[in-house]
Structure 1
Amino acid sequence: MQTLSAGLEKLGSNDLRSITVDLDGTLVFTDMLHESALCCFKNNPLSIFMLPIWIFQGKAKVKKELALRAATLDVGCLPYNLQLIDWLKIEKGNGRKLILCTASDEKIAKKIAGYLDIFDEVLASDGALNLAGQNKAAKLAARFGDNGFDYVGNSTSDLPVWKKAKEGVVVSNSRNLIKKAKLHTSVKKVIYPTKLNFSSWVSALRIHQWLKNLLIFVPLLAAHQANNSASWIVLFLAFFSFCLCASSVYIINDLLDLQSDRNHPRKKFRPFASGEIPIWVGCLLAPALILVSLFISQFVGGGFLPWLAIYFALTCIYSLGVKRLILIDCLALAILYTLRIVAGGFAIDIPLSFWLLAFSTFLFLSLAFVKRYAELKSHRRNTDEKVHGRGYVASDAPLIEQLGISSGYASTLVLALYLNSENVTRFYRTPEFIWGAVPLMLLWISWMWLQAHRGNMNDDPIIFALKDKLSTVIVIALFIVFIIAEV
C-alpha cells in the first residue's frame, strides 16, 4: 500500500508540474526580435534612426518599441515547430499546464499564444526586464520553486533555466548543447529541427537563377564576335559580378517578402521563410555579396558598373513596392531582363541594335506575364480574392494571358521585320534560312503559354524552359538555323 501510495503521489506531482516553453528557435523556427525589427523597418524605414536610442535604454526596451511598431506582423504564418506543438497538445490533454515563457516582448508573445490557443499563461519581457537566461531562471524558480517545472528550450542561454527545472526538452541538432543540457537536468525528449545544409544555401542564393545572367553574353554573339577571347574573359567577370549582385537582391527580396512567401504553397519552404536560415544571417550576407560584386566589377571596365548599379537600384525598388503594382510589375521584370543584355554590351563596348532591344523587351514582357499568370493560376479560384503581396485578383488571369501571348507574338514580329533589315545581309551569307527561326519562335511562345494555361508551368518560365524537352529542341533548332544562315 505504501508503494502504491508513493507511486500515485509521484504521478500526481508530474501531472501538476507545469511545462514552460521557450519561443524563439523553440516554438517557432525564427527569432521574434528579428521578425519585429524587419517588419518595423519595412513599414517605416526612418525608425532605424531611433534604434540607438532604444538600445541605450536596454534590450527589453528595444523589443518593446519594435513590437509596438510591428502591428502588421502576421503570427498565423510563422514557421512553427509542429512536432513540438503536437507533443504539447498531448501533454495538455493529460492535464499538464502549459506556460509560454520567452524573452520576446509580451505583446508578441500574447499574440502568438492567442493564435495557438494551447497556453494557460504567458511570461515575457515587459519593456523593463529582459526575460532571458538568468532572469528567466530566477523568475520561474520564484514562481514554481526549484524542480517545480519542466522546461523546453533550444540554446545555451537556456542552460540556467534547465538547471532549475525538473525535466527538460531540447530542440536542437547540436550534440554539444544536448550534452550540456543533460548535465543540468533530466532530458526526457530531444526534437531535431531540419538541418541547415548545402542545398539551403543554394536555394537562398538562387544559384539556379544565375542562368538568367547568361543574357550578358548575348551582345557578343549578336555582334558575331564569338572568336574574341578578350571579350569572353571580360564577360565572364561581368557574369559573376552580376550573379552575386542578383543573389544579394534575392536575399533582400526574401527578407522583405517573408509574410507573402509564408502564405504561398511552395515559397513557404524557402530558407528564410521556413526559418532554416536565420534572418540576421541574410541581413549580413546581402551587403557582403553586393560588396564582392562591386569589387569584381572594377575589373570589368567599360560602362558596366553604372548599369550594374542601375540593375541593383531597380530590383530594390521592385522589391520594395513596384511588384505590388498591377501590370507595372511585369513591365519592370521585362526591363530587368533586358538590362542584363545592356550591361553585357557596355562591358565590351558593343553598341546594341534597335532590333535586339525591341525583340528582347517584347519577349521578356511575355515571360513576365507567364510568371504572373502562373501565380494566378495556382491561386485559389476565388474571383474576388486578391493575391497576397500582389496587386492582382484571381479573375485577372484571362487578361494577363491575352497580354502575354500578344507580347510574345510581338517579339516574333520584330524578328520577322529584322529579316528585312540591312544588318541581315551584312552578317549572314544566306539570310533566307533565318526565316526558319520565325515559326520556331511562334511554336515556342505558343507552347509556353499552352503549358501555363494547363497549369503545368511553375512560377518561373526560364527555369521551366531549361527543364522542358521541347524548349531544348527548339533552342537547338534555332542555333542550327543561324549557323546555316551564317556559313
Structure 2
Amino acid sequence: MSTPVIPLCVDLDGTLTRTDLLVESLLELLKRNPLYVFMCLRWLLRGKGYMKEQIAKRVSIDVNILPYNDRLTEFLQTEQQGGRPLYLCTASNEQFANQVASHFGIFDGVMASNGAHNLRGRDKAEALANRFGEQGFDYCGNDMTDVPVWKRAHAAIVVGDQKIASAARRVNRQIILFDQARTPIKTVVKAMRVYQWCKNVLVFLPLLASHQYTDRTAILHAVVAFLAFSFCASAVYLLNDMLDLDSDRRHIRKRNRPFASGDLSLARGMTLTAVLLALSAALASTLSLKFGLVLCGYFAFTMAYSVYLKRMLLVDVFSLAALYSARVLAGGAAVGVQLSYWLILLSVLIFLSLAMVKRYTELNAVLTQGKSVAAGRGYITDDMSILRSFGSAAGYTSALVLALYMNSPEMRVMYHHQGVLWVIFWLMLFWISWVWMAAFRGRMHDDPIVFALKDRVSLGVLAICVAGIVLAS
C-alpha cells in the first residue's frame, strides 16, 4: 500500500512573489484617487478581508510581470511534476490569488481571503488543519505570522533569513530553508537614488551669484538646505517608484529598480519614506519660513508630477523646469538672498531646455527598442524633432537672457570686471550645443544634470564659469 503524498501549501506575498499584493493594490488605488484613503479606513472597520475585497474590485494587477521567487518556483514545478498536490494559500484577496494560480498552472486549489475572512496567521492555520488535518500538510511561508501555521504543519518550508528559520524550528523540527539575505544597504541607497542628489547643488547657485561664498553662516545654511532637499527628493523617488510598479516592470531598464524587482519590500519603502521626510522637515525647521514653504511646495508639486503631470504632453517638461528652478529659489531663501527676475528667467529657460533633453533621450531609447510610444508619457517617437527644436530654442534664448542680464544695472554694481563675464556667455552657448549633440548621438544619461556632473567637458565648462564669476567680482 503506497504512502499518501502530503500536499504542499504555499503562501503568496513575500514567498512565491517578492512583493505584497495588498500594498501594491492599495498604492494603485490611492494613485487613482488619494481620497480613497478615507474609504479604506471605512472598509477596514468591517474587517481586513472586506477591505482587501473592496480594493481588489477597483484595481487590477498584471500578475504576469510580478517579481516571483525563481528558486522556489523551480522547486514547486519539480514537486508538481513528481505528483505532489500544490495549493496556493494566501492572505491576499481571492481575485489576485486565482489570477496567480492560473498564471502558473501548477496548483490544485486556492485558499485565499474574501470579504468575510482574512486568511492570515492563526486563521490560516485553522483553515489548513480543518482541510488537511493536523500535520497533514507541508507549509511554505516567509514571516513571523506563519509560525502558527508551521506549528500545525507536517514540515516547514521557510523563505527568509536565519531569524525566521529559527522561529519556525521552535515549533517544527522539519525545516527546509530557502535562504534570503537581508536587504543590503546598497539596495536602499539605490532606491533612494543618492546619485541624484547632485541636482541639489543648484541650491548653492544664489550663494555663488550673491558673492557670499566667504560667509560661513551662509555656507552652513546652504549645506543644510542641500541636505533637506536631498532627503525630501529621495522620499519622493521612493514614493514615485512604489506608485509606478506596473510601468517600471514593463521598462527594459527600470524593471531592475529595487521595488519593481522585489529587492526592497514596499513596507520598508514606506517606513524609509517617512523617516526621510521627518529628517527633511527637521532640517528645514532650522532655516527660514520661506525656505520651508518652498520645500513644501516642491514636495507637493513633485508628487503631482509623479502621479499626474508627467503623463501630460508638454506640461511635464514645464513642470520639470519648475522643479529644477525651485532648487534655485530654495537656495536663495536659505541664505536670505532676493533673486533677480533675470536669474529666475534664466533658470526657467535653461531648465526647460534640459527637461526637453530628458524627454528626447527617453524617446530615443524607445525608438532604439523598435517602439513608437513612450509608456506612461504623452509622447510618440515622431515628436523627437519638434522637441529638439523647442529645447534648443529654449537653451539659446537662455543664453540671450544671460547676455542681457550681464548688461543690467545690477551686474554693473556687483562686478568690477564685466568683460570677463562674456566668457561665460560663450561657454553657455557651447555647453547647450554640446548637451544637445550628446543627446542626438545617444550619449546622454536619462537626466542631463547627472550627465553634466559626470561629463568631463561639462565639468570643465562649469569650472571655468565659476572662476570667471570670481575673477569678475
TM-score by length of 2: 0.91
Matched residue, 1:3: none
Shift of 1:382: 7.2
SS class of match (2:259)? coil
Contact 2:160–2:181 (Cα < 8 Å) also in 1: no
CA contact (8 A) 1:235 1:300 kept: no
For 1:51, the equivalent position in structure 2 comes to 40
The one-letter amino acid paired with 1:207 is V
1:31-76 per-residue CA deviation (whole Å, 9 max, x = no partner) reads 11211221222223332222333222222212212211223x3323
- Per-residue CA deviation, residues 208-260 of structure 1 (Å, 9 max, x unaligned), is 22222221121121122222222222222322222232223222222222222
Match of 2:229 among 215, 239, 242: 242
Task: State which drifts further: 141-150 or 27-36.
Answer: 141-150
1:316 aligns with 2:303: yes
Q: Which of 249, 253, 261 is the matching residue for 2:240?
A: 253
Matches within 5 A, 1:19-98: 19-71=8-60, 73-98=61-86
**Alignment partners' CA distance in 2, 1:363 and 1:378:** 23
- Compared with structure 1, are the counterparts of its residues 112 and 358 closer, same or farther at alpha carbon in structure 2 (3 Å cutoff)? same
What secondary structure sits across from 1:45 in the alignment? coil
Residue pair 2:200, 2:327 contacting (<8 A) in 1 also: yes
Identify the residue that residue 281 of structure 2 maps to in structure 1.
294
CA distance in 1, matches of 2:372, 2:94: 33
Give the equivalent residue in structure 2 for 1:144. Answer: 132
After the TM superposition, which of the residue ranges 151-160 and 425-434 deviates more from structure 2?
Answer: 425-434
Alpha-carbon separation, structure 1, partners of 2:29 and 2:239: 15
Instruction: Say whether the 8 Å CA contact 1:170–1:187 is kept in structure 2.
Output: no
Q: Is the 2:373–2:381 Cα contact (8 Å) retained in structure 1?
A: yes
* 2:413 alignment partner in structure 1: 426
Aligned equivalent of 1:277, options 264, 267, 273: 264
Number of aligned residues: 473
Aligned twin of 2:460: 473
| 2:178 aligns with one of 172, 191, 195 | 191
* CA–CA distance in structure 2, aligned partners of residues 163 and 142 of structure 1: 14
The one-letter code sitting in structure 2 at the alignment partner of 1:93 is Q
* 1:394 and 2:394 are equivalent in the alignment: no
How far 1:465 sits from its partner (Å)?
A: 1.9
101-110 or 57-66, larger mean C-alpha shift: 57-66
SS of 2:116's equivalent? coil
Q: Which moved more, 1:196-205 or 1:182-191?
A: 182-191
Q: Match of 1:351, SS?
A: coil
Counterpart Cα distance in 2 of 1:188 and 1:454: 56
Q: SS at the partner of 2:156? A: strand
The residue that corresponds to 2:167 in the other structure is 180
CA distance in 2 between counterparts of 1:144 and 1:394 reads 57
Is the CA contact 2:9–2:139 (under 8 Å) kept in the aligned structure 1?
yes
Contact 2:294 2:326 (8 Å CA) reproduced: yes
Contact 1:61 1:127 in 2 (8 A): yes
Partners in 1 of 2:306 and 2:200 — Cα distance? 19
1:365 alignment partner AA: L
Greater shift, 22-31 or 383-392, is seen at: 383-392
Verify the 8 A CA contact 1:381 1:394 in the aligned structure 2.
Answer: no
Contact 2:366 2:372 in 1 (8 A): no
What secondary structure does 2:67 align onto? coil
**Whole-Å separation in 1 of the counterparts to 2:437 and 2:77:** 47
1:151 to 1:287, Cα distance in 2 relative to 1, 3 A = closer
Instruction: Kindly provide the CA deviation profile for residues 412-461 of structure 1, in whole angstroms up to 9, marking residues without a partner as x.
Output: 22223333333443333332232222332233222222222233323122
8 A Cα contact 2:242 2:266, kept in partner: yes
Match of 1:99 among 87, 93, 100: 87
**Are the aligned partners of 1:304 and 1:347 in contact in 2 as well (CA < 8 Å)?**
yes
Instruction: Please state if 1:120 is matched with 2:108.
Output: yes
Amino acid at match of 1:56: L
User: Superposed, which structure 2 residues align to 1:197-208 within 5 Å?
Assistant: 197-208=184-195
Unaligned runs of 5+ in 1: 1-5
Change (3 A) 1:256 1:117: same
Structure 1 CA distance for aligned equivalents of residues 457 and 305 of structure 2:
32
> In percent, how many aligned pairs have the same letter?
42
* Contact in 2 for aligned 1:366/1:405 (Cα 8 Å): yes
Shift of 1:370: 1.8
Residue identity matched to 1:111: Q
Conserved? CA contact 1:19–1:152, under 8 Å: yes
- Equivalent position to 2:251, from 252, 264, 271: 264
2:7 aligned to 18, 35, 43, which one? 18
Give the aligned residue type for 2:236. Answer: V
Partner letter of residue 267 of structure 1? K
Range moving further from structure 2, 97-106 or 272-281: 272-281
Cα distance in 2, alignment partners of residues 52 and 485 from structure 1? 61
Distance 1:162 1:470, change over 3 A: same
1:107-156 CA distance string (max 9 Å, x none): 11112222333323211112222222232223223333344433221112
- Alignment match, 1:439: 426
Deviations 1:185-205 (A, max 9, x none): 465642233531222222233
* Distance in 2 between residues matched to 1:365 and 1:23, nearest whole Å: 45
Deviations 1:374-400 (A, max 9, x none): 222222557874322221223323332
Q: Secondary structure at the match of 2:446?
A: coil
Aligned 8 A contact 1:300 1:347 in 2? yes
> Is the contact between residue 19 and residue 96 of structure 1 (CA under 8 Å) also seen in structure 2?
yes
Q: Distance in 2 between matches of 1:448 and 1:192?
A: 46
1:332 pairs, out of 289, 306, 319, with 319
> Does the Cα contact within 8 Å between 2:169 and 2:175 map onto a contact in 1?
no
| 394, 406, 416: which one aligns with 2:393 | 406
Decide whether the 8 Å contact of 2:154 with 2:174 is kept in 1: no
CA-CA distance at 1:334 after TM superposition: 0.5
- Correspondent of 1:111 among 76, 94, 99: 99
TM-score, normalized by length of structure 1? 0.89
